[in-house]
Every structure is written in structure tokens, then in C-alpha cells.
Structure 1
Amino acid sequence: MASNHRTMPTQEQLRVWRDYIETAQALRTRLGSRLLSESSLSTGDYQVLLALTEAPQHTLRSAELAALVGWERSRLSHHLGRMEKRHLIRRVPCIDDVHGVDVIATDYGREAFRAGSVPHLRAVRELFVEALTPQQLAHLDDISAALQRHLGVDGPAAPAA
């Protein structure tokens, strides 16, 4: 698609952009509210537990976890503190790195994630999948891939919260 970098977006392009952003935010908000009410997990808890449950021994270095969930280390540290108080995760010093911290999903955290996944995935189906035809889903997949290529980012390895 050819573009002129000196030209501002048209009114129609801005309308499409705004609709996309506002709709995606409304979807994230609605999914987050349902997740919290049905599982007592926040979207952040779910993202962290998803990454940990998929990791070997349900453990990741805090720096790896921050990169996987796309958070700054300070934000992750504060969030992990709250999760640790709720016994969803444990933090332990890395054996081979004096400054590193391993984050481990506890049995309770893994069970909370499993229990929360059922209503969360049902909400994803109801609020997202059922709103679109198979062709629209395929188009959206193409659009997401094009944006990821343009931005130089990899797509998510697993379903995101």
C-alpha cells in the first residue's frame, strides 16, 4: 500500500482509526470486568499466570516475564507483590544470578488460572468470536498480521487476556 508520509490522515482514516481504538478498548474493558467478576483475577493476573503456566516448571525470570507480558519491570514488580500476597505466585532469588528473581506460579495460582480460563474463554467467544463471521475473523487475522509486520512485532504466542 503506497503512502505519502507528508500527508495527514483523512477524516475517514481518522474515523476508522478512532472506531478501531475505541472498540478494542471497550472489548478489553468488558472482558476484564467479566474476568474479575467471574474469577477474581484481573487481566494483569491472567496475563502473568498465562505466561507462567506455559513456562517450564511454571517459572520465569522476572525480566523474561516482563518482556512476555510487555510491561516495564517496575510495573511488574508492583503487580507481582500484590499477586504474592494473594498466594498466586512466589518470588525467589535466582540460583545462578545474584540480581535475578524467579517468579513461580503456585499450585493455588495455577488452579485459579485454570478456573478463570473457562469463563474467560466463554466471554471471548461471546463478546468477540460470535460477533464476527468466519470471513471477518480471517480478515481481522490478516489485518493483525499486517500491523505486526509493519510495527516489527511478533504476534502473541498464545491467546491474550
Structure 2
Amino acid sequence: MTHKPTRETVQVWSRIFRIQKEALAYTEKALKAAKLPQLSWYDVLLELNHSDDIGLRPFELERALLLPQYGLSRLLDRIEKAKYLKRIPCEEDGRGQRLVITEEGRAILLSMWPIYAKAIQDILGSGLHPSEIEILSELLRKIKLPEV
């Protein structure tokens, strides 16, 4: 049995992807104009910052990120080269490593947040009333991905 989405469902689907694409481009442009790293760096550093001094194993970071897996090791290499993260040996696994944010990483994270926050406000907050944000949040929470 084939289930066909309604025209409205397809329109919502398209809008979600279009908004995501345009929102990412807007945010990246704002970060670049401020001479700050890409948004993917922010996501990595934020997750590492939440892990305190314990750090995260690369696979733990991968699970937590909103980024695709491909290219993650190269991204981590670039962030490490900028001295925003460091790799330390993993005590539980002699061959493994943990990723830890550095003080420089915390500083750049703090520098990036105002630009990112403004982009979020420009994209969502300026066009929707706070009550509409609540409704949208609740509606998005209802979307469940099917098991594959």
C-alpha cells in the first residue's frame, strides 16, 4: 500500500528544507562578515564545552552533532590546528582519544554566540510572535521519524 502525502504536506516539507538552507547561509554569511569561524565549528565547540574537562570521544561528538559524519575528522583537524580543541589520550582505551575544548576555544565560542543569536532572532524571532514560536515548537516536537 502506497501512502501519498497531501499537497500541503509536500509544501511544508519543501518550506522546512528551504528555510534550513537559507537560515544556514544567512548565519554563515554573518559569521564570515564578523571574521569568525563557520557554524560547524560553533557546534563542535559547544558540545565540547558542555562536556567540561572530560571531553568527548569522537564517536560521542558525532552522535551529538547536527552535522553529517563525513568530513568530521578533517573538521576536527582544522579546529585543533586553530588551537580551539586538543586531543588527549583516553584512559578507558589506550588507543583512543578524547577531544577537549581549550581556553581559546571557549573564547571563540563566546565571540561567535552574539552573531549566531542575532541570526536566530533575525530569522525566527523577528517574524513570529512569542506565542507563535511556542506553537511552532510544539508542532515540531510532534514530528517523529519512522524506524528504518
Change in 2 beyond 3 A, CA 1:136/1:97: same
Distance in 2 between residues matched to 1:65 and 1:94, nearest whole Å:
14
Distance in 2 between residues matched to 1:129 and 1:115, nearest whole Å:
21
Aligned to 1:65: 61
- RMSD over equivalenced CA pairs, Å: 2.2
> Secondary structure of 1:57's partner?
coil
Matched, 1:130 2:126: yes
Any idea what the Cα deviations from partners look like across 1:6-61, whole Å, max 9, x if unmatched? 23123332222212211221112211221232251111100001101111216212
Give, as a single letter, the amino acid of the residue that structure 2 aligns with 1:67.
Answer: R
Pairing 1:35-50 to 2, within 5 Å after superposition:
35-50=31-46
Change in 2 beyond 3 A, CA 1:97/1:74: farther
Distance in 1 between residues matched to 2:71 and 2:95, nearest whole Å:
18
Matched, 1:85 2:76: no
Any idea what the Cα deviations from partners look like across 1:135-156, whole Å, max 9, x if unmatched? 2201210122101xx227xxxx
Aligned to 1:109: 105
Give, as a single letter, the amino acid of the residue that structure 2 aligns with 1:80.
Answer: L
Q: Which moved more, 1:10-19 or 1:112-121?
A: 10-19
> Secondary structure of 1:41's partner?
coil
Any idea what the Cα deviations from partners look like across 1:102-128, whole Å, max 9, x if unmatched? 101111111010111122112211222
Count residues in correspondence.
Answer: 147
| Structure 1 segments unaligned to the other structure (5+ residues) | 153-161
Change in 2 beyond 3 A, CA 1:122/1:58: farther
TM-score normalized by the length of structure 1 = 0.80
The question of whether the paired residues in 1 share the 8 Å contact of 2:48 and 2:101 is answered with yes
Q: More helix by proportion, 1 or 2?
A: 1
The question of whether the paired residues in 1 share the 8 Å contact of 2:47 and 2:61 is answered with yes
